[in-house]
Amino acid sequence: MNKAFVREPDDTGRVYCPRCKSLGSPVEAAPLDRYVAPAARNKLGAFAWFCPYQHCEAAYFNQFDVVVTVDELTEPVYPKDLDAPLCACFGYTYDDAAADVAEGQPTRTRELIARTKTPEARCRESAPSGQCCVAAVQELYLRLRNP
């Protein structure tokens, strides 16, 4: 499922974070099993939404306003923690984007974007948000380059 789909105005599947009202991104069971601690995992079913807002304590939620908070996760996730990898598949981090900007060449960023188009990229299973990281990576790079 891509972002164009979840942002479609007529899409009745849109669900907003009960804490901060950000539009959630749909997440299947694999990331929930990986990132939600066992003690909190049964609060959510096989499907939930990820809150993409950095400063919101809610990590995952469902349409019944059940929330799993950042401190109920098994590890830090981006963008809740800016030190966590942006790309769960290949490990691209904030520092990689900053290094590219410092060098004036998006070497690491280009390489990452190329790798996300290969079968090795398993965003739906691996990414905390269930989404491909490319949009977030490009946004971060541009934000650091044009502060």
Q: Residues interacting with Zn ion, by CB under 5 A? A: 17, 19-20, 22, 51, 53, 56, 58
The smaller minimum CB distance to Zn ion, of residues 56 and 134, is found at: 56
Least distance in angstroms from the C-beta of 31 to Zn ion? 16
Closest approach of Zn ion to the CB of residue 99, in Å: 30
When the beta carbons of 22 and 93 are compared against Zn ion, the nearer one is 22
In whole angstroms, give the CA distance from residue 27 to residue 69.
Answer: 15
Cβ-based neighbours of 62, under 8 Å, separated by 6 or more: 15, 44, 45, 47, 48, 49
Name the residue nearer to Zn ion (CB basis): 56 or 73: 56
Please answer whether residues 39 and 2 qualify as being in contact, where contact means their C-beta atoms are separated by less than 8 angstroms.
no
In the complex, minimum distance from the CB of residue 22 to Zn ion, in angstroms, rounded to a whole number: 5
Residue closer to Zn ion, measured from CB, 72 or 100: 72
The DSSP secondary structure of 23-90, one letter per residue, reads BPEEEEHHHHHHHB-HHHHTTS-SEEEE---TT-SEEEE-TT--EEEGGGBSS--TTTSTTS-S-TTT
Q: Least distance in Å: CB of 51 to Zn ion?
A: 3
